[in-house]
Amino acid sequence: MTMNATGGEATFADLGLRSELLEVLSALGYEEPTPIQREAIPPLVQGSDLLGQAATGTGKTAAFALPVLQRMPPPGGGAGPATLVLVPTRELAIQVSEAFHRYGRILGTRVLPIYGGAPIGRQLQALKRGVDVVVATPGRALDHIGRGTLDLEDLRTVVLDEADEMLDMGFADDIEEILAATPEDRQTVLFSATLPPRIDGIARRHLNDPVRIEMGHAAAEGREATPLVEQSAYLVARAHKPAALGRLLDVEAPAAAIVFCRTRDEVDQLTETMNGRGHRAEALHGGMEQEQRDRVMSRLRAGTADLLIATDVAARGLDIEQLTHVVNYNVPSAPEAYVHRIGRVGRAGREGAALTLVEPREHRMLKAIERVTKQRIQVERLPTVADLQARRMELTRAALEECLIQEDLEPFHAVVESLTDEFDLMEVALAAVKLVHESSGAVLDEQEIPEVAPRTADKRRGGREAPDSERYTRAPAGGMVRLFFSLGRSAGVRPQDLVGAIAGESSLSGRDIGAIEIADRFSLVEVPQAAADEVIAALRRSTIKGRRPTVRRERDTRGRRT
Ligand code: AMP
């Protein structure tokens, strides 16, 4: 781990970043570099090549974007872009472009995402005007190189992001062809969630004496550190995370919980949201004065607050007796951070719970944490509205039971007696329970939180083709429809060509695509029902193996649409 001169963990300033970038990071509420950033930024700033193993959620985008921006010649220097980032999907092209834009705005860096499915005219205009960073899917990048509209002569840095995914999607040849069109003396950076031999092959051919970084081999101490903590994770789309957190806290009803966020802004926003939902939440982050922080801590200790929403930096060194729950609002950026966080509960033999919200794309990171801690993190279903109602009823029942055992109820005798003149005793009890239940202050929460599936890497292309016996007879998998492509084996079409075209031209990633069947003169590809029209529209504008296919929903023999 990179340390600074005083022996503490390195800050962004220690990593050699220029002052404008430090300002941006501070304005974004980033308090400290993530482990991959600590390791990768110094050599990249020096111009080294790098082979990094890092999944989404580790902060890898900033790990390569910040050094690239640091080394960027002043805008308007060369004719062509100075940086090319290759990514597997349109979705990632947009995300990475947004990150470059966010970090580089202050330097005037011009960023252009290039992917299939978007009108090429705008891309051509932008390229003509001049851009500094191009973030592209391999297919569309090659298209522009072929047309002579993407000039790679001035390129200083090439980044291959999520390289394993690009290979899985059949982009290996495209990547080779693009790299062959770049200057020999370029800096090359390769990030990949996994490092299979094929990635090593690319690294050997195209990287020059690279620095190698592999994350997630430390923190073995986590094994003993966390035996009493029950760990669970919940898959949830980003848009539903505040509701998911609220639901979990309502159902778990922790005595005191700490919720970890990535940035100051996230802490402030979430504190406001949770207070709006009736929780007693307090924010704690590095942007606060010591005096403010002390006040927060005393409110927590006195029990006037029960929810602490904090960044890692601000929570470091805190020892809070009452804590029963640690919530990771995002998957932490490294297994080590996870181990530190959950070590805050389950202390001194007490039991604790650690809950982690996981966006589908962060699922891999969760697996990395399991590997390092050698403990399973149970992925559970988020409580439904019915679960929540049942839990509230249970709490009401428990409150009544406690009252029956402990309280002196004599003063209320007369009330009940006078009511029983007119009503049945059972009815009186029901009305009393209803009043207690309704006065418990529970916020009405009746929106179901949609379930999402993880983006796992299990669906490798090798397993995609259906066995012969099943060919053309099976119904598509649930939620999927089959698309008909008018090109097949005789046109040289392989599964990877179809996956590459669909993922390159639409918002789907390779993992969203289901079974592929290739016949001599046509192919059938399963895609999620909701994305079918988008895929059809996108593919009509593009070519596969140099030919423009007819694409439509498959009709079965009775003419019914699938
Ligand atoms: P990535 O792994 O690149 O997809 O980044 C995951 C998320 O972490 C993104 O939302 C980033 O904005 C955020 N992030 C990256 N670096 C930091 C940092 N040092 N501190 C806080 N958040 C960060």
In order, the DSSP letters of 479-547 are TEEEEEES--GGGT--HHHHHHHHHHHSS--GGG---EEE-SS-EEEEEEGGGHHHHHHHHHTS-BTTB
Topology of the domain covering 468-553 = Alpha-Beta Plaits (3.30.70)
pLDDT attached to residue 102: 95
pLDDT attached to residue 444: 60
Question: How many A from CA of 331 to the centre of ligand 1?
Answer: 11
Q: What is the mean pLDDT of residues 235-255?
A: 91
pLDDT attached to residue 466: 33
Which ligand 1 atom is nearest residue 12's CA? 19
Confidence check: pLDDT of 56 > 80: yes
Question: How many A from CA of 241 to the centre of ligand 1?
Answer: 17
What are the φ/ψ torsions at residue 340 (nearest 5 degrees)?
-60, -45
pLDDT attached to residue 218: 47
Which ligand 1 atom is nearest residue 95's CA? 4
Q: Which residues pair with 258 in a beta bridge?
A: 308, 326
Confidence check: pLDDT of 474 > 80: no
Report the mean per-residue pLDDT for the chain. 85
Confidence check: pLDDT of 184 > 50: yes
pLDDT attached to residue 482: 87
Structure tokens at 461: 């292309």
Which ligand 1 atom is nearest residue 57's CA? 2
Confidence check: pLDDT of 109 > 60: yes
Structure tokens at 327: 């919530």
Amino acid at 442: A
* Shortest-distance Cα residue to atom 1 of ligand 1: 59
pLDDT attached to residue 519: 78
Burial level of 184, CB count in 10 A (0-12/13-18/19+)? exposed
The span from the first CA to the last CA of the chain, in angstroms, equals 54
* Of 24, 32, 34, best ligand 1 pocket probe by most atoms within 8 Å of the beta carbon: 34
DSSP string, 69-133: HHHPPPTT-SSS-SEEEE-SSHHHHHHHHHHHHHHHGGGT--EEEE-TTS-HHHHHHHHHH--SE
What share of the chain has pLDDT > 90, as a percent?
46
CA-wise closest residue to 312 among 347, 263, 270: 263
Residues with C-beta less than 6 Å from any ligand 1 atom? 30, 33-34, 37, 56-62, 262-263
* Shortest-distance Cα residue to atom 5 of ligand 1: 59
Q: What is the mean pLDDT of residues 262-279?
A: 93
Question: How many A from CA of 62 to the centre of ligand 1?
Answer: 7
69 against 439, higher pLDDT: 69
Confidence check: pLDDT of 60 > 80: yes
- How far is C-alpha 26 from the chain's CA centre? 22
* Of 100, 270, 333, best ligand 1 pocket probe by most atoms within 8 Å of the beta carbon: 333
Question: How many A from CA of 345 to the centre of ligand 1?
Answer: 25
The string of pLDDT tens digits covering residues 506-543 is 888 877 888 887 777 788 888 888 889 888 888 877 78
Instruction: Evaluate whether 311 touches 260 at the Cβ level (below 8 Å).
Output: yes
CA angle centred on 373, ends 372 and 379, rounded to 5°:
105
pLDDT attached to residue 496: 81
Which ligand 1 atom is nearest residue 33's CA? 19
pLDDT attached to residue 48: 97
Confidence check: pLDDT of 559 > 50: no
* Of 262, 329, 359, 455, best ligand 1 pocket probe by most atoms within 8 Å of the beta carbon: 262
pLDDT attached to residue 352: 86
* Of 37, 41, 56, 263, best ligand 1 pocket probe by most atoms within 8 Å of the beta carbon: 263
Question: How many A from CA of 406 to the centre of ligand 1?
Answer: 51
* Of 2, 25, 28, 30, best ligand 1 pocket probe by most atoms within 8 Å of the beta carbon: 30
Topology of the domain covering 12-214 = Rossmann fold (3.40.50)
41 against 336, higher pLDDT: 41
Question: How many A from CA of 34 to the centre of ligand 1?
Answer: 8
Confidence check: pLDDT of 455 > 80: no
Question: How many A from CA of 332 to the centre of ligand 1?
Answer: 10
Q: What is the mean pLDDT of residues 432-456?
A: 76
Q: What is the mean pLDDT of residues 190-206?
A: 93
Confidence check: pLDDT of 556 > 90: no
Question: How many A from CA of 365 to the centre of ligand 1?
Answer: 13
Question: How many A from CA of 479 to the centre of ligand 1?
Answer: 32
Per-residue pLDDT band at 219 (split at 50, 70, 90):
very low
44 against 480, higher pLDDT: 44
> For the whole model, what pTM was predicted?
0.70
The string of pLDDT tens digits covering residues 113-123 is 999 877 788 88
Mean pLDDT lowest among 155-169, 186-200, 462-476 = 462-476
10 against 466, higher pLDDT: 10
Q: What is the mean pLDDT of residues 470-487?
A: 68
Question: How many A from CA of 58 to the centre of ligand 1?
Answer: 7
Which ligand 1 atom is nearest residue 55's CA? 2
pLDDT attached to residue 441: 62
| Residue spans in the chain of domains classed CATH 3.40.50.300 | 12-214, 229-383
Confidence check: pLDDT of 7 > 80: no
Q: How far apart are CA 133 and CA 130, in angstroms?
A: 10
pLDDT attached to residue 138: 94
The string of pLDDT tens digits covering residues 280-311 is 999 999 888 889 988 999 898 888 888 999 99
pLDDT attached to residue 133: 96
Q: What is the mean pLDDT of residues 344-357?
A: 80
The string of pLDDT tens digits covering residues 375-413 is 889 899 899 988 888 888 988 898 899 888 888 899 999
Which ligand 1 atom is nearest residue 61's CA? 3
Per-residue pLDDT band at 236 (split at 50, 70, 90):
very high
Per-residue pLDDT band at 1 (split at 50, 70, 90):
low
pLDDT attached to residue 4: 60
Instruction: Evaluate whether 274 touches 241 at the Cβ level (below 8 Å).
Output: no
Topology of the domain covering 229-383 = Rossmann fold (3.40.50)
Confidence check: pLDDT of 470 > 90: no
